[in-house]
Structures are given as structure tokens and as C-alpha cells.
Amino acid sequence: MDGSDNTSRTRRRFLQAAAAAGVAGVAGCNTPGGETTETETDTAGGEETAQQIGSGRSPFGERDLSAGVSMAEMPDLEGELTLYSGRGEALVGELISFIEDRYPDFTVRPLYNSAAELVNQIITEGQNSPADVFYSVNAGSLGALADRDRTQALPQDVLDFVPSNFRDPDGSWIGTSGRARSVPYNTNTFSASDIPTSIMAFPETSAFQDQLGWAPTYSSFQAFITAMRILEGDEATRQWLTGMQELGVSQYGDEFQVARAVADGEIAAGLTNHYYIQRVLARRGTGTPLRTAFTQNDAGAVFNVAGAAVLDTADDATLASNFVRHLLSAEAQDYFARTTFEYPLVPEIEPIGRLPSIDELNPPEDIDLSQLSDLEGTIDLLRDTGVL
């Protein structure tokens, strides 16, 4: 038996054991406080294979990746690494396998679950945790571990891959891809000029009566409401939530459903992360009457990140840091743009689709992304106003 067969069997045993323990791959599970996690189960119909990662192929044409740093220029990976991934296997498993397959002496042992549950697991396991790297769907979960001193600082040359606002000030975690809050709208009903540039103006816009959709059990929505509480205060947020309900906003199970409903004309606009719109367009074509609008300098324009941290239990911190480095390679950043339709955070790699660049977005400046992990007050407010 060759080494690759042995590695595959070892990985299967690890995943089977995790599943038996009830901790693997629970998409859409509910966490304490009523939060529903990001499911990340839809790949937007992508037929890409691992061999195409880094090729620059996309529905929108060829891409030049030469300005980024390729994996070939990065340190080789050798050894075993246990990855706790709050990002779904359906979206990032291919990339992780691609990285692993580049190096004959490197093995990744992935454990997939919701980011929130993995944070709880890491805390419960304490210094007995086997985890080397935590890969999160949002900055709040990374911040929660950093606050408990469960991370260790990344090397400066890794941190330098992304702008400072997309990483922890102390270097304990780094963003690997980004998602902007956005407003999908149906072009048969609205034009871009009809969409307010202030999120707080939505309840006062009569044209939206019975025309809006949201997904309040979704964690990205709850992070957005948390940002509103930070920026506007609890009372203004309460009034906004009440006003939206009076406007007849429709509720959906997740934000992909919201984007599809807008495209179908079931509703005319909604509140989602930007990539759900891109996934619908990738499946249905750019002739679909669906476009993206953004508010400016407010909670509706929050730019959150998926990211990674090296844990304090890492057996080999250098190997773990170099694995994180690979998530910032030109190939990986292109993968995020093409396959998950997120924003690459390495400035040299452009986003895909009819999207403004990160520099053209107008997110609020007074938000520390790690603050978005403080959901308790948000859940209470959503329940008190009858949203949950």
C-alpha cells in the first residue's frame, strides 16, 4: 500500500470518529441564543476541479494572477495539521485538498462544524485540543478565541498580505476572504437610484411596502444588527426593527433564499451578504433581473471576513502559520473569488462579477470586526421586538 492510500484511510477514520462524536459537518445547526450558523453548502453550480485552482478560469473571463504570491513561492508544507473549519466542506474542502496534494509529506486532518460550535469545542477541550488552526466564517468567532488567549500571533510577513483593517491588531488572526453586506434588488421593479444609501432610511421608504426580505435567524444578519447597535444604539435599532416589520418585510430561512426570491420577483429587494447575489447570477446568467446595491458608512455596509488563526495548542506553529499563508496565495484568493464569490483580501487579486473593488466600498470606520461576536444583546433585542 502506498502512502497516499494510507493518508486517505487515516483522514476517513478521523472524520468518521468525529461524526460518531456528533461534532462533524452540522450545516445550519442552531447555537445557544437562537443563532443559526452560516450553512455554506451551496457552491453556486461550480464545476471547477482542484486541477483548475489558480487557473484564473471563471464565468467572467480569464484572470491575471501574476501580481499575487503563488504557492510555488511559499515554504513547503511538511507534517500533520489538524484544522477545525467553521467554513463548510462544500465550499473550501476542494481548496484544502488542493493544498494538501501539492506536498507529499503533508496531511490535513479537517473537522467541519459551525464556527460557533467549534469555538465552544476548543474552549471545552482546553490544552488537550488537537486543533492547530481554526478557520472561521466570521471575525467574531476568531475574536472570541483571541479574547480567551487561545491564539498565538502570526508572523508579520503573513499579516502583511492583507490591509490592517482585515486582521487583528495584535496579529492573533487574519482575514482570508471578505463579504460585504448588500441590498439585492430586482431591476424590473427598482433602479439603482431607488435604493437608499442609508440603511436607517429603509423603514421610511414607502416603495418597499411588502417588497423586502430578510433572514433574521442567519448569523450574518445578526452580526449586522450587532453593528447597528454599536453604531446607532439599542433604541434606534429597536425602532428600525419595528419599522421594518410594519413595512411588511418577509422572512426567509437563509440569505441565499432571499437573493433567489428577489431574482424571481417574489420580493423586489432584500438584505444579504453580497456573494449570494453572485451565486444566483452564476447559475442563471447575467441577464437575470438581479443587481447589487450598497449602503454607505453604516451597519448596512459592514464588511466582515472569513479568516484563520493559529491556536495555542498547535504542535508546530511554523507549519500552522505557513498553512495560513497558503490561504493568502494567489491561487487561494482566486479560488475564493471564483468559487465562493467572496472578495479576495490580498489587494493584488480582483473580485469577480459586477462588484466594486474593496476600495470603492464605504463600510463604517468605527467598527472593530471582533466586536461582532457580542450577540447576546442582539438576540434579546430580536426576540423582544418579535423578529425571532
Write out pLDDT tens, residues 341-359.
999 999 999 888 778 889 8
Which residues have a Cβ under 8 Å from the Cβ of 329 and sit 6 or more positions away?
Answer: 68, 69, 70, 71, 74
Cβ count within 10 A of residue 57: 14
Q: What is the pLDDT of residue 117?
A: 92
C-alpha cell, 91: 465550499
Q: What is the pLDDT of residue 52?
A: 56
Are 341 and 180 spatial neighbours (Cβ–Cβ below 8 Å)? no
All structural domains of the chain, each given as residue ranges with its CATH number in brackets, are 3-178+305-356 (3.40.190.10), 179-302+375-384 (3.40.190.10)
Q: What is the pLDDT of residue 54?
A: 54
pLDDT for residue 26 is more than 80: no
C-alpha cell, 309: 488563526
C-alpha cell, 160: 502583511
What percent of the chain clears pLDDT 90, i.e. is strictly above it? 70
* Single-letter amino acid, residue 17: A
What are the φ and ψ backbone dihedral angles of 373, each rounded to 5 degrees?
-80, -15
Are 319 and 77 spatial neighbours (Cβ–Cβ below 8 Å)? yes
Q: What is the pLDDT of residue 93?
A: 95
pLDDT for residue 310 is more than 50: yes
| DSSP for 208-226, written as a single string | GTTTEEE-TTBHHHHHHHH
d(CA 150, CA 193): 46
Q: What is the pLDDT of residue 61?
A: 46
- Tell which residue, 116, 18, 92, 152, has the closest CA to residue 336: 92
d(CA 161, CA 9): 35
C-alpha cell, 352: 469577480
What are the angstrom distances between the C-alpha of 177 and each of 143, 206, 247, 324?
16, 36, 34, 12
C-alpha cell, 127: 490544552
Write out pLDDT tens, residues 163-179.
Answer: 998 999 999 999 999 99
User: 45-49, 112-116, 247-251, 349-353 — which is least confidently predicted?
Assistant: 45-49
d(CA 363, CA 105): 42
Write out pLDDT tens, residues 45-100.
Answer: 333 333 355 555 444 446 789 899 999 999 999 999 999 999 999 889 999 999 99
Cβ count within 10 A of residue 31: 16
- Tell which residue, 175, 113, 164, 182, has the closest CA to residue 140: 175
d(CA 106, CA 67): 27
Mean pLDDT in residue range 242-264: 97
Better-scored residue on pLDDT, 44 or 276: 276
Which residues have a Cβ under 8 Å from the Cβ of 213 and sit 6 or more positions away?
Answer: 249, 250, 251, 252, 258, 261, 262, 266, 267, 269, 270, 271
- Tell which residue, 305, 308, 309, 311, has the closest CA to residue 369: 305
